[in-house]
Structure 1
């Protein structure tokens, strides 16, 4: 079977690696627009690098009339622990030599002030009762919070009432470095082919039923044919879906959201002093990706502080692509959905436009509000992050991700952006199960799956504390994460 994957980011590379590990005879080619794997939204500074397992993100535990929902947090935490199993497998196999090249233990903290303290208390009560979050701690003591996250508290007035939670076993993940190393393994050890500098323009069915992929490679037109096509191209998945002529294409449109951060290089000593990702509470009307946070980042042996994100509204599908690409991806049937979103989510649209024009001074003011005195402590500069395209499904704006597979199981794609890279192995395993189910009928393939994922059943992790702890402690040891 011939499989073509569009996009060598974290999703496409993970899909290829999983498929080739389980079905070594499969012929797999990845087509990538850029000149290396993981150079798009997976690249280190195109995302916040948080290993999302719902430790600190308030938007994963919504509150409705003083009732807090933890179901989404439990699912994301379980998904991330499935992801860690796969990464631990790559370490054990020797495909990645050192976990420190892509993952670092980093405290995950949440901090709020009045009037959100009661919400954080409720969140802590509900979450710490579950075995996923049994090591979470809560405090309203100024000095204790300062010991957890000093840069956010050092120059804050002691009379300001604050509350915070902490989990010591959080992570910072360089998804670009992870993707690059996984791509090298896929090519050198598994026989996956990757063609860089290949911009796919159109996909369509041939009379024989195979997929024809038309692309531009450094000015030359090229074609590929595939029995099965998977599009993991981030925002670029939307225009290709529109050109596929699949019946469900008209149900989906894309709503692009960009972001910026303030970035500052710091020393090893300063990194050790802070070593945290600290999340606050999003402004009213802000999208989930705009929750303010102050992150320690470890990238290529150097350390940085990152603060943001500052959302922006840019009608482009991916960083480095222009307005024309987005406009040509829109079909007449998309226009009512886009107008509905503009009407129904007008506060969000207004917020994004205002954020787009936010200047350097306003960005520093927000940093000062989040961590008083910090803007003068380091050499900060604004940096452009990646571009996300949220799903508009049946006219409704959604913030998650969705796997789409054609009825004949020859075309699959992933739309959406959150929680994204953190759960990529679990999401790609589900995509593989839907798109290439024949793989799982073979004993050897399932044996390999069990080796990569000792426990991929989310319900088992959620409902069986002993099984979860067994898996957690095993993979954390492999990844260099000390379980408290």
Structure 2
């Protein structure tokens, strides 16, 4: 078996309302978001006998960063995100991150296809749809950059099929909303990937939890918050839970704990006391969207159009005019507009940031703060923006936008990682990072984008680090190859395999052209 079930331990608690869980799980997952859902399903596929408890502080799954309205990244595949392909000082384009993200998203598509084939997920059109991914720029310098980016990316099999155009008439066909009313004398260009997708991670997460709940040995608890977690001398983790509705407190024991609580992961990592977590801090960033309320405009745009962030702006500020499919309806968003709050979660506390400051991380946090004064200035400017200023930013992508057709929507919270750095004392990072104990008994996921889109790669990496022997076993390796057929074989260097995998996942997920009419029905 994956982990031997813990023997029941009867313990009498002295505090009122406290009790002990007598039949402890093998694994505890904290947070009912896309990461816990992915890890939970993977573990049950690798060992159907494993017992899993999932704890969520809210009353529903996927209500924070995984929710569609809160999630800034829907199907990040590096097709259109210009911040993944920086221009170097010598004028060349670095595509290494784009390749990594694209590879990871292909692994995600494979895992979801495996689950659909097996019947774990049904109706893939409820969580993933085909939609073009477009990069759009204006001005001579930016057009030159996009042309060089296109030339660099199309040398790689992962970006086969990408189109480039600086022809105004052609661009009017690709992105009519973006081109209407635009100055014809301004030089513009775009690239397009027709195999892009829109992913509703909220819907996907809830589908996965629905299946997990029906599996033997899986329990999902809502309104439960982790107050304390501590490892005993036998390596077992003791978690003190509090029910936020009744106030009842429960002790839970498990050999492995995954902290996948989004912005709430950092405080829990700090509480765990593991040496590997010392020195980590977090910088919370809130987000906002302009949401279109005019159905005629929504129907006129059918793509994800990403641009370049303004000079000096952070990667999180990359603007996009984004078609989405949320709750069965097509939506149109523009943003994100950043903001600042001391909360680590949308439904969190204003004291979250202050409570996260400890002796072990105060130096890295101060150093990162001093090195990122421009970010602080940017966030202040964003917070102070008027509705008119937000619409002016929108008009760079939709020149004929009218204020009455848009309303402000609050997005989710993101907590950027701050970590120790020998040279600077502390640095602020904009990706995701897994922090795990040396004994593999606990792991926490920190950070934000591209996050959800690369969940499968992140969880495979976590399993390799925390379950080394099992991961390398013939049994697990065979099963992993079933779940993610290309695992260990980079698609970026295997053109035929890349084509084969994309055809298979496109068929299963109903993304290929022959399935479009079926999905529309």
- TM-score, shorter chain, exceeding 0.5: yes
Is 12-21 or 438-447 further displaced after alignment?
438-447
User: Aligned-pair distance for 1:190?
Assistant: 5.2
Counterpart in 2 of 1:466? 496
Whether contact under 8 Å (1:151, 1:374) holds in the other structure is no
Counterpart in 2 of 1:39? 63
User: Aligned-pair distance for 1:442?
Assistant: 4.6
Q: Distance in 2 between matches of 1:437 and 1:188?
A: 28
- 2:85 corresponds to which of 49, 61, 71: 61
Q: Distance in 1 between matches of 2:497 and 2:175?
A: 32
Q: Distance in 1 between matches of 2:79 and 2:366?
A: 36
Instruction: Check if 1:252 corresponds to 2:276.
Output: no
Q: Indicate the SS of the match to 2:204.
A: helix
Is 436-445 or 175-184 further displaced after alignment?
436-445
List per-residue Cα deviations over 1:180-218 (Å, max 9, x = no partner).
Answer: 000011111354211111111221122433111122212
TM-score, normalised with respect to structure 2? 0.89
Counterpart in 2 of 1:205? 231
User: Aligned-pair distance for 1:272?
Assistant: 5.3
Whether contact under 8 Å (2:395, 2:401) holds in the other structure is yes
Counterpart in 2 of 1:154? 180
Q: Indicate the SS of the match to 1:261.
A: strand
Does the C-alpha gap of structure 1 residues 266 and 434 become closer, same or farther in structure 2, counting only changes over 3 Å? farther
Does the C-alpha gap of structure 1 residues 270 and 16 become closer, same or farther in structure 2, counting only changes over 3 Å? same
Does the C-alpha gap of structure 1 residues 48 and 400 become closer, same or farther in structure 2, counting only changes over 3 Å? closer
Structure 2 unaligned regions, length at least 5: 4-25, 421-425, 515-521
Counterpart in 1 of 2:313? 286
Q: Distance in 2 between matches of 1:400 and 1:466?
A: 30
Matches within 5 A, 1:106-255: 106-114=131-139, 115-189=141-215, 191-217=217-243, 218=245, 219-255=247-283
Q: Distance in 1 between matches of 2:487 and 2:233?
A: 39
Matches within 5 A, 1:205-354: 205-217=231-243, 218=245, 219-265=247-293, 267=295, 273-354=300-381
- 1:77 corresponds to which of 102, 113, 135: 102
Please identify the structure whose Cα radius of gyration is greater: 2
Counterpart in 1 of 2:453? 422
Whether contact under 8 Å (2:288, 2:337) holds in the other structure is yes
Q: Distance in 1 between matches of 2:231 and 2:475?
A: 32
Whether contact under 8 Å (1:266, 1:304) holds in the other structure is no
Counterpart in 2 of 1:455? 486
Count of paired positions? 481
Q: Distance in 2 between matches of 1:62 and 1:202?
A: 42
Whether contact under 8 Å (1:20, 1:192) holds in the other structure is no
- 1:363 corresponds to which of 376, 390, 401: 390
Whether contact under 8 Å (2:256, 2:441) holds in the other structure is yes
Is 431-440 or 5-14 further displaced after alignment?
431-440
Counterpart in 1 of 2:119? 94
List per-residue Cα deviations over 1:51-82 (Å, max 9, x = no partner).
Answer: 11100011000111112100100010000000
Whether contact under 8 Å (1:49, 1:172) holds in the other structure is no
Q: Indicate the SS of the match to 1:255.
A: strand
Whether contact under 8 Å (2:338, 2:383) holds in the other structure is yes
User: Aligned-pair distance for 1:83?
Assistant: 0.3
User: Aligned-pair distance for 1:343?
Assistant: 1.5
List per-residue Cα deviations over 1:83-112 (Å, max 9, x = no partner).
Answer: 000111121112222111011111100111
Q: Distance in 2 between matches of 1:482 and 1:156?
A: 33
User: Aligned-pair distance for 1:160?
Assistant: 1.6
List per-residue Cα deviations over 1:144-182 (Å, max 9, x = no partner).
Answer: 111111111111122221111111110111000000000
Whether contact under 8 Å (1:391, 1:399) holds in the other structure is yes
Counterpart in 2 of 1:7? 31
Counterpart in 1 of 2:14? none
User: Aligned-pair distance for 1:446?
Assistant: 3.0
User: Aligned-pair distance for 1:438?
Assistant: 3.5
List per-residue Cα deviations over 1:250-284 (Å, max 9, x = no partner).
Answer: 221111111100012454x7655421000011012
List per-residue Cα deviations over 1:292-328 (Å, max 9, x = no partner).
Answer: 0000011111111100000111111111101223211
User: Aligned-pair distance for 1:119?
Assistant: 0.7
Whether contact under 8 Å (1:266, 1:303) holds in the other structure is no
Whether contact under 8 Å (1:317, 1:387) holds in the other structure is yes
Whether contact under 8 Å (1:205, 1:211) holds in the other structure is yes
Q: Distance in 1 between matches of 2:419 and 2:99?
A: 24
User: Aligned-pair distance for 1:345?
Assistant: 1.3
Counterpart in 1 of 2:52? 28
Does the C-alpha gap of structure 1 residues 483 and 341 become closer, same or farther in structure 2, counting only changes over 3 Å? farther
User: Aligned-pair distance for 1:439?
Assistant: 2.9
Q: Distance in 1 between matches of 2:270 and 2:436?
A: 14
Q: Which has the higher helix share?
A: 1
